[in-house]
Amino acid sequence: MTTKLFRLTSFTLGILMFLTFAVMVSVNAVSISPSSGSFAAGSTQTFTIVANPPATGYNAAAVNLTFGGMTVTGYTPPSGGEFVIPGCTGGTNFTSTQVCINIAATDDFVAGDSLGTVTVTVGSGTTASITKDSGTEYTGVGVSTVASTGSAGNYTITSSTSGGTTTNGGSVTVLPNTATNNSSSIGLVLAGLTFLSLGALSYVSIDAIRRG
């Protein structure tokens, strides 16, 4: 009974760690910098869309972002020669509340690559947010599509300054980009493999003892 419980526990832990790794990759494959901070109402802010592909072979991405508590005023493509196709209704890169682009490059994306910058005007509420909508994903030749949806940024809005509109720096607390470090994900995979192996070895050992 104890042996069966050990095998079941090892197998379950291994599966859970693989699932955790998959979720981490999915959530963080596209990130926003800064992903948090405090902005003055009415100020102008600039955000960078940051690539963090799960592996090599990904050179195309669809990005669909919704901005809450802010008005989008512009999207600037990266300067590395990437090809950008507008994805918003009406054939534009952005609307007042969304950024929707399809971007491709001749070389694979690598962690930290810019997928463009977004300029916004901060609203008069108390909070603001950026969300990665359904359809935000990576793809490439010979690789599986990887989705990246969910919350990308949450911000606090403070009273507007006496000088009116401000830009990134003066009234903004910029925090580091929170893209996932792949080394921690690799650790989870290795740990998962270890637990799966333990479960398999225990099964083989018990069978061998019984037959002996």
Q: Do 118 and 74 touch, CB atoms closer than 8 A? A: yes
| pLDDT one digit per residue (tens) for the chain, 212 residues | 555 544 545 444 443 333 333 333 333 579 999 999 999 999 999 999 999 888 889 999 999 999 999 999 999 999 987 899 999 999 999 999 999 999 999 999 999 999 999 999 999 999 999 999 999 999 988 888 999 999 999 999 998 754 444 434 333 333 333 333 322 222 222 233 333 334 444 433 434 444 55
User: Which class is domain 29-181?
Assistant: mainly beta
Residue 44 and residue 29: Cα distance in Å, rounded?
26
Q: What is the pLDDT of residue 140?
A: 87
β 137-139/127-132 pair status: unpaired
Q: What is the pLDDT of residue 2?
A: 56
Q: What is the pLDDT of residue 78?
A: 93
Q: Where are the domains of the chain?
A: 29-181
Q: Which residue has the tokens 């810019």?
A: 114
Partners of residue 132 on adjacent β-strands: 65, 150
Q: Which two tokens stand for residue 89?
A: 């209704």
Neighbouring residues of 80: CB distance < 8 A, sequence distance ≥ 6: 105, 113, 114
